[in-house]
Structure 1
Amino acid sequence: MSDRLPGFSTLAVHAGAQPDPTTGARATPIYQTTSFVFNDADHAASLFGLQAFGNIYTRIGNPTNAVLEERVAALEGGTAALAVASGHAAQVVVLQQLLQPGDEFIAARKLYGGSINQFTHAFKSFGWNVVWADPDDIASFERAVTPRTKAIFIESIANPAGSITDIEAISTVARKAGVPLIVDNTLASPYLIRPIDHGADIVVHSLTKFLGGHGNSLGGIIVDAGTFDWSTGGKYPMLSEPRPEYHGIRLQETFGNFAFAIACRVLGLRDLGPALSPFNAFMILTGIETLPLRMQKHCDNAKAVAEFLAGHPAVASVSYAGLPSDKYNRLARKYAPKGAGAVFTFSLKGGYDAGVNLVSKLQLFSHLANVGDTRSLVIHPASTTHSQLDDAAKIKSGAGPDVVRLSVGIEDKEDLIADLEQALAA
C-alpha cells in the first residue's frame, strides 16, 4: 500500500492484523492459551523486566487481544490501547493508575447508571472520592476542582438520554487544572466521535456495545492518547516515580507517549486481573469490521424512530440530539455530524406505569439491559438500570420515572415504527 493514510473503514477491517505467519490464516486466530514459551532464560528475564515486548501469560497480554488493541487505538487516533474484561473493568484499571486513597475525580452527572453506582459506592472502598458536575454547566466542573482532583470523567454521548457532551469545553477545564480528561466513548464509537481530536487524554469503551455490536461478547478497552505529561507536579507517582516491581523503572521516562497504556497493563491488569478472553477478542474484532456500516444504519433508523415518537400523542417528549428541536442538536452537529447515535430516551404522558407497560407490549424490541446490539432494545431505566438511585438522582441523570430508553438496531425502520405504534396503542 502507498503512504496514503488509510480511511476509517479500511482501518476497521485491517488495523493491527496480518496473515498468520505460521499457517497463513487470513482471519486473526484465537490464541486460546494461558502461557507462551520463552526462547531462553535471558528472553524470559527481559520480558519480565519490561526490557522487551512479547507474550508471557494471557492475563497480561495475548496475540488475539493485541490485534484488537491496535485496531481500536488506530480508530480512536491513540498511541496504544489495553483490552480488559468489561467496560467497568476499564474504569477501575484507569483510575487505579491515577488515584491514591483520599484523592478525588470529577464526573459528569449524566452517566450510565452502573457507572454512577460504581463511582458512588464501590470506589469508596479504595478511598477514591467522586465529585459530581453538570455537563450542561461547564462552570460546575471548574468549581469542583480542588488540590485533590486527579481526573475528569465524562461520556461523549451520555447514557441513557443520548445527550451530547461539550468535550472541548471540559477539556479546557482539565488542562487548566492539570489533570487528564477521560471520555467514555461507548455510545458514539469512533465512527461518530473521536474524543482525542477534541482534547481527551484517555478514552474508554465497553466493547460489549457498538464496537462488538452483536450482543454476544463482554469486553472493555482503554486507549491512551499519548497527550498528557504524567511527570507534571508529581501528581501521578504510578507513572512518574520508580516502580519497585520493575527494578526502579519510571514508566513515563521509559515509555513516553504510551506510558499510560503500559501502566494499565503492567500495574493494573497484571495485579487486578480482569483479562479479556481471546475468544471474546476475536468476536469483537469480527464485529468491528462492520462498524461503519452498522453505525450509519443505527443512526439513520434512530432518527426515523425519534421523529415518529415526537409526533405521537402518547409521548410527552423525546430526547434525541439528532432532532433539530433538541437542545443538544448544535453539539451533535459539531461533534457527531454523521449521526447522533442510536440510544435515546422519550417520556410518556402516563408516567411510570405507562413506561413499565410499554416495554411489556413491544414485540420486535427486546426488553433487556444492554445497548449497541444489531437488534433493537428497550428498557425502563427507573425500574432497572437506574433503580438504585433516588428519584432526584434519576431525573438528574436523565432517567426519570416516565422515561423509556431505546437502543435502535439495524432492522427495517418501518418495522420498528410499526412495533412502537402497536405498543403505544395497546
Structure 2
Amino acid sequence: AHDAGALLLVDNTVPTPALSQPFRWGADVVIYSATKNLSGHADVIGGVVIGRASWLDAARVFAHTFGPTLGPFDAWLTLRGIRTLSLRMQRHTENALRLAHYLERHRAVSRANYPALESSPFCARARRLLPAGAGALLSFELAGGKPALESMIRRLRLVRLMPSLGNVATTISHPASTSHRGLDAAERARAGISDALLRCSVGIEHPDDLLADFEAALS
C-alpha cells in the first residue's frame, strides 16, 4: 500500500488489540466494530477508528456533522468490556482451537477452517502475525449438506443461531442465507460459501460443555 502511495487500513475487529497490534506491521489506520469482541457482551452498537490525528480530520468532521458517535452509556459499556478483553480473548482462542480440532476430526464434518489448524493454508501466516492466538472465529462445512446443517441447528441447546459475532456466548450463523444472501450461487461458490457452511463465533463457556453440545447435535 505504501509503495503505491496509499494508506494501509486494517479492520482488527476479530483479533482485537489483545491478539494483534496492526500499527507494529505498518498500518496507518485501524478500525474496530466495538459491537463485537471489544465490548464483548452483545449490548453495544458502535465503532472505533484509530490513527494519526491529521488522517482522521475528515472522519471527525463527518462524525460531528452527522452524529455517528457513541452515547455516554455505550461508551461506558465498551470501556467496561475492554477491561476484561485480554482475559476473554485468551479463553475465546483456547476454546476455538479446541473446537476446531474436534470438528476437523468429526466424521460429519467435511471441512473445518481455522487459521491455527495445521491443515490451514494460513497457518504459517497466523503464527507470524497472531502469535498469541488466532481468535474466536471459525467455520465448518457438514458432509451431509444443508439437510444435515438444519438438523444440527435444531439439536443445539447451548449454542445459539444468530447473525452477529464476538460476544461471550458461542453463536453460529449460516452465511449463505444471511451475510452473503445477496450473492447468487455461482458467486457464493467462488467465495467458498456453500449451503452447508456454518460460521461459528466461539465464546468463553466451559469447553467440555461446548463440545458436548456439538457432539449431541452432530450425532
With the shorter chain as reference, the TM-score category is over 0.9
205-214 or 190-199: bigger deviation:
190-199
TM-fit CA distance, 1:403: 0.6
Q: Distance in 1 between matches of 2:178 and 2:125?
A: 29
Partner of 1:93 in structure 2?
none
CA distance in 2, matches of 1:302, 1:281: 28
1:183 matched to 2:6:
no
What is the aligned partner in structure 1 of residue 153 from structure 2? 359
Cα distance between partner residues in 2 of 1:396 and 1:277: 40
When structure 1 is superposed on structure 2, of 272-281 and 386-395 the one drifting more is 386-395
Correspondences of 1:306-385 after superposition (within 5 Å) = 306-385=100-179
Aligned to 2:57: 262
- Using the TM superposition, give the Cα deviation of residue 211 of structure 1 relative to its aligned residue in structure 2, in angstroms: 0.4
1:412 to 206, 209, 212: 206
| Contact map agreement 1:391 1:401 (CA 8 A) in 2 | no
Q: Deviations over 1:85-128 (max 9, x none)?
A: xxxxxxxxxxxxxxxxxxxxxxxxxxxxxxxxxxxxxxxxxxxx
Give the superposition deviation at 1:398.
4.1
1:199 aligns with 2:12: no
Q: Which residue of 2 aligns with 1:222?
A: 49
Contact 1:206 1:219 in 2 (8 A): yes
Query: Runs of 4 or more off by more than 6 Å in structure 1?
Result: none
The question of 1:273 aligning with 2:74 is answered: no
Task: Say yes or no: does 1:211 pair with 2:35.
Answer: no
Larger radius of gyration: 1
Aligned to 1:283: 77
Superposed CA deviations along residues 373-398 of structure 1, whole A, max 9, x for unmatched, are 10111111112221111223323444
Q: Name the aligned partner's letter for residue 316 of structure 1.
A: S
After superposition, the CA RMSD in angstroms is 1.3
Q: Which amino acid aligns with 1:214?
A: H
CA distance in 2, matches of 1:386, 1:361: 24
Work out the CA distance in 2 between the residues paired with 1:347 and 1:298.
21
**C-alpha deviation, 1:274, in angstroms:** 1.4
CA offset at residue 399 of structure 1?
A: 2.8
Aligned to 2:118, the other structure's residue is in SS state coil
Q: Name the amino acid aligned to 1:313.
A: R
Report SS of the residue matched to 2:65. Answer: helix
Normalising by structure 2, we get a TM-score of 0.96
Deviation, structure 1 residue 262: 2.9
Measure the CA separation in 2 of the matches of 1:392 and 1:196.
37
| Aligned partners of 1:355 and 1:380 also within 8 Å | no
Amino acid at match of 2:218: L
SS in 2 for 1:263: helix
CA shift, 1:276, in A, is: 1.4
Which amino acid in structure 2 is aligned with residue 296 of structure 1?
Answer: Q
CA–CA separation in structure 1 for the residues paired with 2:174 and 2:3: 39
- Cα distance in 1 for residues equivalent to 2:175 and 2:16: 22
SS of the equivalent of 2:88 reads helix
Other-structure match for 1:40: none
Aligned residue identity for 1:288: I
Instruction: Work out the percentage of aligned pairs sharing the same amino acid.
Output: 41
- Gapped regions of structure 1 (runs ≥ 5): 1-173, 227-257
208 and 397 in structure 1: CA distance in 2 versus 1, 3 angstrom threshold? farther
Shift of 1:190: 1.0
Cα displacement string for residues 183-207 of structure 1 (whole angstroms, at most 9, x for unaligned residues) = 1111110111111111211111100
From 174, 178, 195, the counterpart of 1:401: 195
Q: Secondary structure at the match of 1:177?
A: coil
Structure 1 349/375 Cα, relative in aligned 2: closer, same or farther at 3 Å? same
Task: Give SS of 2:117's match.
Answer: coil
Matches within 5 A, 1:48-63: none
Match of 1:137 in 2: none
How many residues are aligned here?
219
Which residue identity does 1:270 align to in structure 2?
H
Give the distance between the partners of 1:424 and 1:271, measured in 2 at CA. Answer: 51
2:16 is aligned with what amino acid?
S
Q: Output one character per residue of 1:282-339: Cα deviation in whole Å (capped at 9) or x when no partner.
A: 0010000000000000000000011111111000010011111211110110000111
TM-score, normalised to structure 1, is 0.50
Correspondence for 2:218: 424
Provide the residue aligned with 1:234 in structure 2. Answer: none
Letter in 2 for 1:388: G
| Letter aligned with residue 365 of structure 1 | V
SS at match of 1:406: strand
Query: What is aligned with 1:100?
Result: none
